[in-house]
Structure 1
């Protein structure tokens, strides 16, 4: 057990250092560590960024005490040793101040991912991320799935998975459950898909 803990600590330290070096030396790649596996993903494309801007405007108008923080790294899963970088996290405005690159997720009300058109989006955004965020206890996971033209809202994390998943096609209205409580009119999302 001591050897496994030592190896785990070294893996996480090496990951943090590699992520810092990569962030300084390259543009367009972000590293994440989920389930002990290091993965890379490209930074958002213009349409993906526009979806986040759309959501940011809605969140600010609906819940001005909260902010949609793009690209903030989070310590995830039950042990908080893994690392994820959601496309955005909904939390109080100053929640991440002073926390550094990988923040405690305790104040995060919602993690947001917008699918990209890469080969890993299926396993990453539809399987690994919802499981990691549910294990973390983040109340709501919002997946804006551009490939399938739908919005998936995961809620009621039980420490293993989200017990409730609601799916609506782009164009329908959906209300994000508490503690978020924001209504989304999703018609505009049709403008930012290929």
Structure 2
């Protein structure tokens, strides 16, 4: 069973909000950018420095037609696509639009884990590059965004964190995600992308 210290379902939904309108600049996608049958499959693994595996498996997202409207089907829910592409109005967002190399901002998020623990993530973000990146699913033009900061929760836990997100605008999502918290490292990589 997967255990996350960050609310990755929300993170994954937000990660689909990247779409390029011109080379080197990415804006949020709109509903028309998606098509029924699009499918993304990632493999993930989280391991402590002592070799304890805390997460290991695959994750799939697929665009389906639900009650006449496009929706994103995940392992746990069917989310209306209109919610997935909804603009984040936070003053400390996960992504500051448009994405462009050199952009910097502060990301802060309050969250609740699956067991009810409440927490806060606070990080400084920077878009480091836009270049070809290769993962198991192929080679894509992608942004690399680095987040540095800390995470804390209501049970007294606090850790320095570094997250690196590699996004492919053509796919409208991340192709690789690496999270490091103290002695724990989590990596998620796209292994398959299909479009009808």
Shorter-chain-normalised TM-score: which range? under 0.3
- Identify the structure with bigger relative contact order (alpha carbons < 8 Å, sequence gap 6+): 2
Q: TM-score, normalised by structure 2?
A: 0.26
Q: Which structure has more strand as a fraction of its residues?
A: 2
Q: TM-score, normalised by structure 1?
A: 0.26
Q: Which structure has more helix as a fraction of its residues?
A: 1
